[in-house]
Chain A
Amino acid sequence: MKIVRIDVGSIDSAAELAPLAALGGGAVASFTGIARDDGDVVAIELEHYPAMTTASLNALADEAVVRWSLLGTVLVHRVGVVKVGEPIVLVGTAASHRAEALEACAFLIDRLKTEAPFWKKEHRADGSSAWVEAKGSDDARADKWRN
């Protein structure tokens, strides 16, 4: 089972993860990325490259399924304006055992952050806004997964 979706509406984590629990494995792992209140940030706006985004997420999901023998995976990513405190991304993995589910989940979010064509812009309480800078530490985390 594979679900990959770009969504303009809010993410219901419980509803998205329920199908993973029904696959018969012993482990479901998930990561939820939430719009963080860095100082006076009120919302994060997400831009993406529509022609490329879904294919990019599908390729990552397919790689994870093969590498960790997953029973299923869910990747849901918001675009548009996301208020502080709301989920931006949900990664879910189901496997027979916890090690595979947990590792695949970490792989998916680490690689998504450095490869999937999304860009964040922070909107602040005073009306100003600024693009979020990519972090070198994210590249280092993603590189760990290259054999």
Chain B
Amino acid sequence: MRLVYFALVREAVGLDSEIRELPEALETVGDCLSWLTAQGDNYAAAFADPSRLRFALDQQMARADSLLKGAGELAIFPPVTGG
């Protein structure tokens, strides 16, 4: 799956995007977040406060309990601040 990061999350992870082979057992956005958190201190720091994270699956807003199945791109970012 392609993972993309924006704003504060992008800076904390240290990457704009990456391709990751996710374990089959991961079913939801939240599962993916927990798995990533264990992949390094940068991820743990970026995802430390889940209440400050928002998600999109294939460019549609998603939630922590949204199912990953079939999606090609997961975006993780802080609450938006445009306008």
Residue ID in chain B nearest A133 by CB atoms: B81
A134–B80 touching, CB < 8 Å: yes
Q: Are A119 and B83 in contact (CB under 8 A)?
A: no
Note all chain A residues with C-beta closer than 8 A to B75. 49, 52, 117
Q: Known contacts A52-B56, A52-B59: does B80 contact A47 (CB below 8 Å)?
A: no
Asked whether B4 is an interface residue with its Cβ less than 8 Å from the other chain, the reply is: yes
How many angstroms from the CA of A113 to the CA of B7 in the assembled complex? 16
Please tell me if the beta carbons of A119 and B82 are within 8 angstroms of each other in the complex: yes
Within 8 A of B (CB), among A86-142: 88-89, 109, 112-121, 131-134
Q: Say which residue of B8, B10, B73, B80 sits within 8 Å of A117 (CB atoms).
A: B80
Does A48 lie at the interface of the complex (its beta carbon under 8 Å from any beta carbon of B)?
yes
Q: Separation in Å of the A138 CB from the closest CB of chain B?
A: 8
Q: How large is the interface on B (under 10, 10 to 19, 20 to 34, 35 or more residues)?
A: 10 to 19
Chain A interfacial residues counted at CB < 8 A: 26
Let me know if A33 and B83 touch, CB within 8 A.
yes
Whether A51 is near chain B, meaning CB under 8 Å from some CB there, is: yes
Given contacts A55-B59, A115-B61, contact A49 B4 (CB under 8 A): yes
Complex: chain A residue closest to B10, CB-CB = A47
Contact of B50 with A by CB under 8 A: no
Collect the chain A residues with CB atoms within 8 Å of residue B14's CB. none
- A117 touching B83 by the CB < 8 A rule? no
B35 close to chain A: CB less than 8 A: no
| Residue ID in chain B nearest A89 by CB atoms | B83
In this complex, what residue of A is CB-closest to B79?
A134
A47–B75 Cα distance when bound, in Å, is 14
Whole-angstrom distance between the alpha carbons of A55 and B75 in the complex? Answer: 15
Other A-B pairs, 11, CB within 8 Å; known A51-B73, A117-B77, A134-B80: A49-B4, A49-B59, A88-B82, A89-B82, A112-B83, A115-B61, A117-B56, A118-B82, A119-B77, A119-B82, A134-B79
